[in-house]
Structure 1
Amino acid sequence: MKTLLINILFRILFYPLPKISINMDEEKAFNHLFETSCKKADKLIEYNLAIPKYKFLYYVTKNKRVVLHGSNEQEVHAFEPRKQTLYNGEMATAIFATKDPMWPIFYAVLDKNKIIGNIRNGSVSANGNSFFHFYSLTKPTFINEPWTTGMIYLLPEGSFTNVSKGAIQFNEWISEKAVSPIAKMEVEPSDFYFLKKVASHRSDESVVKTWLLYKVRTLIKGA
């Protein structure tokens, strides 16, 4: 009952992933693209399909042993653990990744050099299956026109662990070992499904207030 109530609350406050279904032709195309790209020297996925990129990312996280990492950097040959903050505020020296097909696109297309204040975002769930999204930037960041071209790196899942536990779970995976990408794909701001659903908050407001007002703010912004 608790899980059900939390998911109902998330549905009220945040946005769910769009429903994703993959037909046999798409599966065949995705598999061919993945397998051939992994064999290339540059590991670049040259995505020329008339299908949203997040559907391809959804396919690989469900069918291949990979996790995803979004970055502004175009040429990362190896990721090294570094100090970062976990979803619960604890510090960890690790590489962060996710199996959510949308969340890393946000990190890939948000220019980190344009961030003023803080950012608040996440892919959250109460059952580890149905994830809901929220994205919020400060007004000065918006004024900075922060969107850019980025890269999604497909990393081998082997050394990663899903660290999120408890009533509220973030789709957050970490590795304490260095890893090299097995493939990478360029993404544009238009590939980010929630681009028009990014809200604005004050840096000094509470996280709870940002959560409670997130969806209202996006609806007002889009009016």
Structure 2
Amino acid sequence: MRDHTIQNRLKRYLLDRLQLLKIEELDLPAQAKDEFDDIYHHSILPGEGKFISYKSDYPVYQFLNYLIENKNVLVHGSNNHMIDSFEPKESTLFNGRPIKAVFAASDGVWSLFFSVKNRRDYAGSLRNLCLTVPTKKGIRRYYYFSIINEEVEDIWTSGTIYILPKDQFNRGGIRDEWVCEQNVKPLAKLSVASTDFPFIEEIRTHAESESILKTILKALFFKRNNNSK
């Protein structure tokens, strides 16, 4: 246990000094927790797969991360608003291993990116990373998001976050990637807009010909160019 704590401190120390996007541990007031618990009990726990009526003034990503950290659920972001059941599809884990599965994440911001990035009219690659570190206060979260640097109209769109039962999933290629090799029905759905994604103005860009290694190194060690998208 002591060794694990030291490893997390070292990991946090190193990540805090890189040029990654960061979200601090949740520090919600009692009012927010009460609102989120009420939504969970009325709209998610019944497991009917219906859309949540989200009227809270607190950011959506805080709601999602609160659910993930406290309610044994995962999330999946999509441009498709009409999924009633997820079926396993051929894909690869973050570490490159092929798998036929339904994918989910234990991070709300990561899934928000995939829900509001317009993928219907986008043929380029998406490069992204989500890293989390447990701390005494909760979970600290780190990211980078990169899209191709060509001019593309309608980069963003509305989307849907699907709330999924965690007990049907196993961990995938990295800590916050989860997979299920069976069909999965959502417990609930949440409509989201591009404005719900907290890093909408901080997306990096890359050339399609650029190596993934170069993209990662830029994200880790170089500040974002304010003139980029």
**TM-score, length-scaled by structure 2:** 0.85
| 1:196 aligned onto 2:201 | yes
Q: 1:200·1:217 contact (CA, 8 Å) conserved in 2?
A: no
In structure 2, the residue matched to 1:13 is 19
Structure 1 residue identity aligned to 2:57: A
Q: 1:95·1:176 contact (CA, 8 Å) conserved in 2?
A: yes
Which of the residues 78, 87, 107 maps onto 2:94? 87
In structure 1, the residue matched to 2:123 is 116
Structure that is richer in helix per residue = 1
In structure 2, the residue matched to 1:139 is 149
**2-structure distance, mates of 1:66, 1:6:** 25
Q: Secondary structure at the match of 1:218?
A: coil
In structure 1, the residue matched to 2:36 is 30
Which of the residues 129, 147, 155 maps onto 2:164? 155
After TM superposition, list the pairs within 5 Å mapping 1:31-50 onto structure 2.
31-38=37-44, 39=46, 43-50=50-57
Deviation, structure 1 residue 130: 3.5
Structure 1 spans left out of the alignment, 5+ residues = none
In structure 2, the residue matched to 1:206 is 211
Structure 1 residue identity aligned to 2:93: L
Which of the residues 78, 101, 113 maps onto 2:108? 101
Cα 1:36–1:127 shift into 2, 3 Å: closer
**1-structure distance, mates of 2:47, 2:168:** 23
Deviation, structure 1 residue 217: 5.7
Structure 2 spans left out of the alignment, 5+ residues = 1-5
Cα 1:5–1:29 shift into 2, 3 Å: closer
Q: 1:69·1:155 contact (CA, 8 Å) conserved in 2?
A: yes
**TM-score, length-scaled by structure 1:** 0.88
**2-structure distance, mates of 1:18, 1:131:** 7
Structure 2 residue identity aligned to 1:137: I
Structure 2 residue identity aligned to 1:91: P
